[in-house]
């Protein structure tokens, strides 16, 4: 461990402690609160964090290299395995990027189905975040509540495409599956049942004294730092920047729906919690509008069976539950992408960890990792 200490430079000098020795503590990769296989090396003075370094890559599967060796359609299921708690969003981003490259667009009905599923997925992703985040901080009950209610979403996915987690629910050009009989009713039923449940979560946490003490003022990230670090998603919005790609550069059918972008004030862990809770409410709003306005018509655009985009390149990004998820695809006119680059929100957001935890306690590191909402499958790809 000693050879690593040289690049943990110390910005914050300790004024309070006497002559405490600095120690280096290894956290992870197998640690319940690192949400996977993240390894964080902490440089500590007593319990105070002086600096961190993240070691990542334990889940690296070479997704981008795989993409270069598969056809466009073959690569589609792989992207679901990056952010596996929000697999629908991954698939949406990829399909849209390829569609853009083909200069095609999914028909309206497919776009609405995509929006419904993606927003359901956003709720599911936030539920996993809330459950595990609260668990890390010591509140056990929200985990059970969240996973119980997430089950309803997974049931809808299962009825729609047969898969619960890595759904591969979209195809380049639209959707493979028509909405099943009772899809609309199921979605509406979920929305109606979910809103009171969301209030229940809030009852447990929002005014809970322990929760507030553990999250308020912890891991503050101001808007300037967020932008400099490229942090997006709820973390950016909690810092007060009203920016959401669904509004800023609307894709799919998002311009047809009426919804708000919740923002925070202080950019601390508590605000990020409130922002994500409110985002779930807004997602319910979008789902209801999309179900009501679900148009009739085809679900696949006319794209060739063998996908061979013209020579060129495209960058397309969507607002995934964790932030801006971008795909940069270079086509050389063949059936396989020449290069697929994934711009993962978790990877970029995780970089902010060091800035957020300096000067805090070890227990706060756990809270901050939770509030960043990282999925290591996406960080490492």
Partner 1 sequence: MPEETKDPTPVLPQSSAPTNPQPGKAGDAGASASPSVTPAAAGNSEASAPTSTAPAAKSEAAAKPAEPAKPATPAATGEKPAAPAAAKPVAKPAAKPEGPKPEPWDSTLVSRLRSQYGSGIAEASTYLGQKYLVLDSTILYEILLHMRNDELFDYCVDITAVHYPKREAQFEIIYVLYSFHHNDRVRIKAQIKDGDHVPTAVGIWETANWLEREVYDMFGIVFDGHPDLKRILMPDGWKGHPLRKDYPILQQDQEWVKINLGIESGQ
Q: Contact positions toward partner 1, by CB under 8 A?
A: 7, 56-57, 60, 62, 64-65, 68-71, 73-74, 76-77, 100-103, 171, 176, 225, 227-231, 241, 243, 248-249, 304-306, 308-315, 317, 324, 326, 328, 330, 332-336, 338-339, 341, 343, 347-348, 351, 380-381
Q: CB-wise, 106 or 277, nearer to partner 1?
A: 106
Angstrom distance (rounded) from CA 17 to CA 23? 14
Nearest approach in angstroms of CB 308 to partner 1 is 5
**Cα angle: 316, vertex 318, 321; to 5 degrees:** 150
Q: CB-wise, 202 or 354, nearer to partner 1?
A: 354
Q: CB-wise, 185 or 249, nearer to partner 1?
A: 249
Q: CA-CA distances (angstroms) from residue 258 to 119, 196, 253, 295? A: 14, 21, 11, 17
Q: CA-CA distances (angstroms) from residue 140 to 6, 65, 131? A: 39, 40, 8
Nearest approach in angstroms of CB 225 to partner 1 is 8
Torsion angle of alpha carbons 253, 257, 260, 262, nearest 10°? -40
Q: Are 169 and 118 in contact (CB under 8 A)?
A: no
By C-alpha distance, which of 217, 280, 267 is closest to 237? 267
Q: Are 216 and 355 in contact (CB under 8 A)?
A: no
Nearest approach in angstroms of CB 55 to partner 1 is 9
Nearest approach in angstroms of CB 360 to partner 1 is 19
Residue 300: helix, strand or coil by DSSP?
Answer: strand
In the chain, where does DSSP find H-type helix?
63-68, 72-79, 87-102, 108-137, 141-161, 183-205, 209-215, 223-228, 234-238, 245-248, 269-292, 345-350, 353-357, 362-372, 376-380
Nearest approach in angstroms of CB 286 to partner 1 is 21
Nearest approach in angstroms of CB 74 to partner 1 is 4
Angstrom distance (rounded) from CA 280 to CA 122? 7
Strands 48-55 and 170-171: unpaired
Q: CB-wise, 101 or 284, nearer to partner 1?
A: 101
Nearest approach in angstroms of CB 342 to partner 1 is 9
By C-alpha distance, which of 171, 96, 110, 115 is closest to 296? 110
**Cα angle: 334, vertex 330, 69; to 5 degrees:** 55
Nearest approach in angstroms of CB 52 to partner 1 is 13
Nearest approach in angstroms of CB 248 to partner 1 is 6
């Amino acid at each position: 461990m000693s050879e690593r200490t040289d690049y943990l430079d110390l910005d914050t000098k300790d004024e309070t402690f006497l002559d405490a020795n600095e120690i280096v503590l290894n956290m992870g990769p197998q640690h319940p609160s690192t949400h996977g296989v993240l390894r964080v090396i902490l440089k500590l003075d007593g319990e105070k964090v002086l600096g961190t370094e993240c070691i990542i890559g334990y889940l690296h599967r070479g997704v981008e290299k795989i993409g270069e060796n598969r056809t466009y359609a073959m690569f589609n299921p792989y992207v679901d395995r990056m952010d596996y708690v929000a697999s629908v969003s991954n698939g949406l981003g990829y399909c849209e990027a390829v569609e853009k490259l083909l200069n095609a667009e999914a028909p309206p009905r497919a776009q609405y189905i995509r929006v419904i599923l993606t927003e359901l997925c956003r709720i599911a992703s936030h539920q996993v975040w809330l459950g595990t985040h609260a668990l890390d901080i010591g509140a056990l009950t929200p985990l059970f509540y969240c996973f119980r209610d997430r089950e309803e979403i997974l049931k809808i996915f299962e009825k729609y495409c047969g898969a619960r987690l890595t759904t591969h629910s979209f195809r380049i050009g639209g959707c493979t599956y028509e909405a099943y009989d009772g899809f609309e009713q199921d979605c509406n039923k979920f929305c109606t049942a979910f809103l009171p449940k969301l209030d229940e979560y809030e009852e447990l946490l929002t005014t809970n004294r322990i929760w507030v003490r553990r999250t308020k003022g912890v891991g503050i990230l101001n808007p300037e730092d967020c932008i400099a670090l490229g942090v997006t998603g709820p973390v950016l919005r909690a810092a007060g920047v009203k920016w959401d790609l669904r509004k800023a550069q609307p894709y799919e059918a998002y311009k047809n729906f009426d919804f708000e972008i919740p923002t925070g004030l202080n950019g601390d862990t508590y605000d990020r919690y409130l922002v994500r809770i409110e985002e779930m409410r807004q997602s319910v709003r979008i789902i209801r509008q999309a179900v009501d306005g679900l148009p009739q018509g085809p679900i696949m655009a006319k794209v060739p069976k063998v996908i061979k985009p013209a020579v060129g390149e495209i960058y397309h990004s969507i607002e995934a539950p964790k932030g801006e998820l971008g795909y940069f695809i270079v086509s050389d006119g063949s059936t396989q992408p020449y290069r697929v680059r994934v711009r993962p929100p978790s990877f970029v957001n995780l970089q902010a960890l060091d800035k957020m935890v300096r000067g805090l306690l070890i227990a706060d590191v756990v809270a901050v990792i939770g509030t960043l909402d990282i999925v290591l499958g996406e960080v490492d790809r």
